[in-house]
Amino acid sequence: MHEDTSLYTECYSSSLMAPRKKKRTYRRKSFSLLNALESYTYLSILSQGVAGTTPYGMLTQEGDLASSSYYDAGLGVSSMTVTGAEQISLADIVQNPSLALSQMGKNLQSNIVPMAVSSLLTGVTFRFGRRLLRRPLSNINRNLVKPALGAGIRI
């Protein structure tokens, strides 16, 4: 009789098993001011390196990007100069997209290493700061932010 039960177990055990539960995705229910500050820092590094201005400046500055060409008779060559390329704004991109994007590409190539170093140091600094200030931030969130602003916002 022992053989019969083992045969039954071998044949039907896989079909009688309960289905596996799917992994549950976790979504934060609150807005973190520190996460927003870290994201803005990364955005600032990117916009400073590529466009030469802050994110706010990129949205609000006037379009002053222009190119002009002149002929040098002594050398017998034609040259092109770009003005307003230090700070590229959204208006520059809309008015002259090819010139703005080529200048942004040049800025990216020349600033890629400082941008990478800044991004790396920003990540390390925020991670270290959160660990160092875990208890004070928890206390502030529990005693000041949550009663004043509700459970949806935290530092």
In sign, the C-alpha dihedral spanning 62, 67, 68, 73 is positive
The string of pLDDT tens digits covering residues 65-94 is 776 677 777 777 777 666 666 788 888 888
**Where is pLDDT greater, at 93 or 13?**
93
Among residues 32, 46, 39, 44, which one has the least CA distance to residue 123? 39
Residue ranges per structural domain of the chain: 29-154
Instruction: Find out whether 45 and 119 touch, Cβ atoms under 8 Å.
Output: yes
Query: Percentages helix, strand, coil for the chain, rounded to the nearest 5?
Result: 60, 10, 30
Kindly report, residue by residue over 36-50, the tens digit of the pLDDT: 999 999 999 999 999
pLDDT, tens digit (0-9, with 9 covering 90-100), for 120-141: 999 999 999 999 999 999 999 8
